[in-house]
C-alpha cells in the first residue's frame, strides 16, 4: 500500500483521538452527590462507548479509511501536475515561433539550400528534442540540483565550453561565439552560461539563508557572486558578446536582489559592475564595434548600404505591415532584402505579415509567460526554487525586450535572438530545458497547494 496514503490516514485517525480523550476526561466523577450529576455521567459514558465501539481503532481504523476513500486530491492533481497556464503559453510560443520562423526564412532557405523547408526541418528536430527534455526536467525534482557534484559539473562544463570557443570557436560578424560540434552543428555556450549563473546564485543564496541580511557576512554575500560571475562573465566578454554579457549581469543582479541580501552589498555590486564596464572599455573589448553602431543607430541612413542597411530594411518591414499586415507568408522584405530575417529579425517579419495586431499578440504572449513565471516564483515552496524561476524568467524577459528594441531601432544593433522565434538549435533546446525547470518548481508548488 502507498506509504503516503497510510501516513495521511494515520494523521486523520490521530485527529479523532483528542475527541475520545476529551470524553474520557469528562467521565471523571463530578463533585457533589447530585442525581443530576450521576445522570450526566451516565450520558457521557454512553456517548464515549458509542465513539469507541463504532469505529475500529489502530491499524483496523486506518485500513477502513484507506478502503473507503476514493482518489485523493493529490492524485487527481497529479494527472497534470505542472502549471497548466505556463505550459500552454510555452507551447503556444513554440508553435507560433516555428510558423513565423519558417515564413521568414523560406526565401533564404531556398537561396542557400534549394528548398524552402531546410530551416524548418532543422528547427523542428531541435524543438522535439527540447520539448522532450522539458518534460523530463518537469518531472525531475529540481531540489536535486542542490547536489554539489551536479552544480560543480554544470559549472565546469560551462567554463570549459566558453574556453573552447575562444580557442577553437567559429567567428562570424567580428564575434567568436559559436562552437562547432561534429554531427550536431554549432552551439552557443553563452546560452548555457545564462542558466549556470542563475543556478549558482540560487544555490549560494539558499545555503546562506538569513546570513545574507547581515552586513558582515562577507564570505556568503560577496565571495559566491564573485565566483559565479568572475569565472563566466569575462569569458563571455572575450567572445565580444555584448548582449549576453548584459543579460547575464542584469539577471544576476535581479537574483541577488531577491535573495534578501544586505543593501550595502547591493551598492557594492553596482559599483563593481561599473568598474567592470570601465575595465572593458579600457581594454576595448566592445569599443571597436559597439561605438561604431551608435551614430548609425541615431540615423541609419548615414550608412544605408553598410551598418545601417539591416536596420533600414527592418523598419521598412514594420512600416509595411500596418495594422493587420500583408498576410501570413506575404512579406516582401524576407525576399532576400532583410538579412537574418529568420534569426534576430524575425519580429520584423511578424510585424510585416501580421501587422500591429500580430505584434501585440506576440508581446502579450511573452508578457503572460513572464507574469506567470514570477507568480510561480512567488508561490514556490523554498527560496532555491523561487530564485531559479526568477532568474530564468528575468533572462527570457530581457532577451525578448532587447530583441524587440533592436528590431524597432530603439537601441543600437546587437546580436540577440527572440526566444522561441529565432532560428537556432542550441538556444531553443536550452530555453525549453529552462522551461522544464520552471515547470518542475510549479509541479511541487501545485502539489503543496492541493495537499
Mean pLDDT of the chain: 80
Say what the pLDDT of residue 219 is.
Answer: 56
Say what the pLDDT of residue 451 is.
Answer: 41
Residue 150 is placed in which grid cell?
551536479
Give residue 69's pLDDT band: very low, low, confident or very high (50, 70, 90).
very low
Say what the pLDDT of residue 292 is.
Answer: 76
Cα separation, 451 vs 442, whole angstroms: 14
Mean pLDDT of 390-407: 96
Residue 395 is placed in which grid cell?
533572462
Give residue 75's pLDDT band: very low, low, confident or very high (50, 70, 90).
very low
Residue 288 is placed in which grid cell?
571597436
- Among 65-69, 70-74, 187-191, the range with the most confident prediction by mean pLDDT is 187-191
- Among 28-37, 265-274, 299-308, the range with the most confident prediction by mean pLDDT is 299-308
3-state secondary structure of 165: helix
Per residue in 334-364, pLDDT (tens digit) is: 999 999 899 999 999 999 999 999 999 999 9
Out of 104-113, 117-126, 210-219, least confident range? 210-219
pTM: 0.78
Mean pLDDT of 182-199: 86
Say what the pLDDT of residue 188 is.
Answer: 87
411 DSSP assignment: S
For 380, list phi and psi in degrees, rounded to 5. -65, 150
**Quick one: 267 exposed, middle or buried, by C-beta within 10 A (0-12, 13-18, 19+)?**
exposed
Buried b (16+ CB within 10 A) or exposed e, 241-253: bbbbbbbbbbbbb
Q: Which residues contact 110 (CB under 8 A, 6 or more apart)?
A: 116
172 DSSP assignment: E
Cell 513572464 maps to which residue?
Answer: 370
168 DSSP assignment: H
Mean pLDDT of 160-171: 85
Q: Which residues contact 88 (CB under 8 A, 6 or more apart)?
A: none
427 contacts 179 by C-beta, under 8 angstroms:
no
- Of the candidates 353, 319, 320, 335, the residue with the CA atom closest to the CA atom of residue 421: 353
Per residue in 44-61, pLDDT (tens digit) is: 666 655 554 444 444 454
Say what the pLDDT of residue 34 is.
Answer: 58
For every residue of 107-136, DSSP letters joined together read HHHHHHHSSTTHHHHHHHHHHHHHHHHHHH
Residue 180 vs residue 122, higher pLDDT: 122
3-state secondary structure of 6: helix
Q: State yes or no: pLDDT of 145 exceeds 50.
A: yes
Q: State yes or no: pLDDT of 241 exceeds 90.
A: no
- Backbone CA torsion sign across 325, 328, 330, 334: positive
Q: State yes or no: pLDDT of 210 exceeds 90.
A: no
User: For the CA atoms of 350, 438, 251, 237, what is the dihedral angle to 10 degrees?
Assistant: -80
Cα separation, 268 vs 332, whole angstroms: 50
Give residue 327's pLDDT band: very low, low, confident or very high (50, 70, 90).
very high
CA 381 to chain centre: 16
Say what the pLDDT of residue 11 is.
Answer: 61
Integer CA distances (angstroms), 28 to 36, 44, 53, 157, 254, in order: 15, 10, 20, 72, 63
Mean pLDDT of 366-389: 94
Cα Dmax for the chain: 111
Give residue 212's pLDDT band: very low, low, confident or very high (50, 70, 90).
low
Q: State yes or no: pLDDT of 444 exceeds 70.
A: yes
- Of the candidates 308, 321, 340, 343, the residue with the CA atom closest to the CA atom of residue 425: 343
- Backbone CA torsion sign across 38, 43, 45, 46: positive
Per residue in 8-33, pLDDT (tens digit) is: 665 665 655 554 444 444 444 445 54
412 contacts 39 by C-beta, under 8 angstroms:
no
Q: State yes or no: pLDDT of 83 exceeds 50.
A: yes
**Quick one: 419 exposed, middle or buried, by C-beta within 10 A (0-12, 13-18, 19+)?**
buried
For every residue of 239-302, DSSP letters joined together read TT-HHHHHHHHHHHHHHHHHTT--HHHHHHHHHHHHHHHHHHHHTTSSHHHHHHHHHHHH-GGG
Say what the pLDDT of residue 92 is.
Answer: 97
* 3-state helix vs strand vs coil in the chain, percent to 5: 75, 5, 25
30 DSSP assignment: P
Amino acid at each position: 500500500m502507498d506509504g503516503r496514503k497510510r501516513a495521511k490516514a494515520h494523521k486523520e485517525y490521530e485527529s479523532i483521538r483528542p475527541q475520545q480523550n476529551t470524553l474520557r476526561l469528562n467521565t471523571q466523577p463530578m463533585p457533589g452527590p447530585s442525581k443530576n450529576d450521576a445522570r450526566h455521567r451516565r450520558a457521557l459514558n454512553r456517548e464515549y462507548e458509542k465513539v469507541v465501539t463504532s469505529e475500529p481503532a489502530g491499524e483496523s481504523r486506518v485500513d477502513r479509511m484507506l478502503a473507503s476513500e476514493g482518489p485523493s486530491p493529490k492524485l487527481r492533481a497529479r494527472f497534470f501536475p505542472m502549471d497548466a497556464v505556463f505550459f500552454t503559453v510555452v507551447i503556444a510560443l513554440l508553435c507560433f515561433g516555428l510558423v513565423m520562423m519558417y515564413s521568414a526564412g523560406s526565401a533564404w532557405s531556398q537561396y542557400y539550400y534549394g528548398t524552402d523547408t531546410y530551416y524548418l526541418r532543422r528547427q523542428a528536430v531541435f524543438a522535439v528534442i527540447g520539448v522532450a527534455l522539458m518534460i523530463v526536467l518537469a518531472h525531475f525534482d529540481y531540489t536535486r540540483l542542490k547536489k554539489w557534484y551536479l552544480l560543480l559539473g554544470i559549472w565546469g562544463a560551462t567554463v570549459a565550453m566558453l574556453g573552447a570557443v575562444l580557442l577553437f570557436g567559429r567567428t562570424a560578424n567580428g564575434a567568436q561565439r559559436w562552437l562547432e560540434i561534429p554531427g550536431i552543428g554549432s552551439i552557443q555556450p553563452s546560452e548555457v552560461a545564462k542558466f549556470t549563473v542563475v543556478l549558482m546564485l540560487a544555490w549560494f543564496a539558499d545555503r546562506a539563508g538569513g546570513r545574507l541580511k547581515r552586513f558582515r557576512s562577507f564570505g556568503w554575500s560577496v565571495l559566491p557572486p564573485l565566483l559565479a560571475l568572475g569565472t563566466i562573465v569575462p569569458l563571455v566578454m572575450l567572445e565580444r558578446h555584448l548582449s549576453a554579457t548584459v543579460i547575464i549581469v542584469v539577471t544576476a543582479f535581479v537574483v541577488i536582489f531577491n535573495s534578501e541580501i544586505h543593501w550595502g552589498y547591493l551598492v557594492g555590486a553596482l559599483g563593481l559592475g561599473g568598474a567592470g564596464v570601465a575595465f572593458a572599455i579600457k581594454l576595448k573589448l566592445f569599443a571597436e564595434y559597439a561605438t561604431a553602431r551608435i551614430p548609425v543607430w541615431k540615423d541609419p541612413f548615414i550608412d544605408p548600404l553598410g551598418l545601417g542597411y539591416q536596420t533600414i530594411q527592418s523598419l521598412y518591414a514594420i512600416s509595411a505591415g500596418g495594422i493587420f499586415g500583408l498576410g501570413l507568408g506575404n512579406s516582401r522584405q524576407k525576399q532576400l532584402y532583410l538579412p537574418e530575417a529568420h534569426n534576430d529579425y524575425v519580429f520584423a517579419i511578424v510585424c510585416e505579415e501580421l501587422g500591429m495586431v500580430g505584434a501585440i499578440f506576440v508581446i502579450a504572449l511573452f508578457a503572460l509567460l513572464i507574469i506567470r513565471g514570477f507568480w510561480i516564483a512567488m508561490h514556490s515552496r523554498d527560496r532555491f526554487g523561487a530564485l531559479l524561476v526568477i532568474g530564468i524568467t528575468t533572462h527570457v524577459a530581457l532577451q525578448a525586450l532587447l530583441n524587440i528594441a533592436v528590431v524597432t531601432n530603439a537601441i543600437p544593433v546587437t546580436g540577440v535572438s527572440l526566444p522561441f522565434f529565432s532560428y537556432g538549435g542550441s538556444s531553443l533546446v536550452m530555453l525549453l530545458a529552462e522551461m522544464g525547470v520552471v515547470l518542475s518548481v510549479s509541479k511541487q508548488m501545485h502539489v503543496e497547494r492541493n495537499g
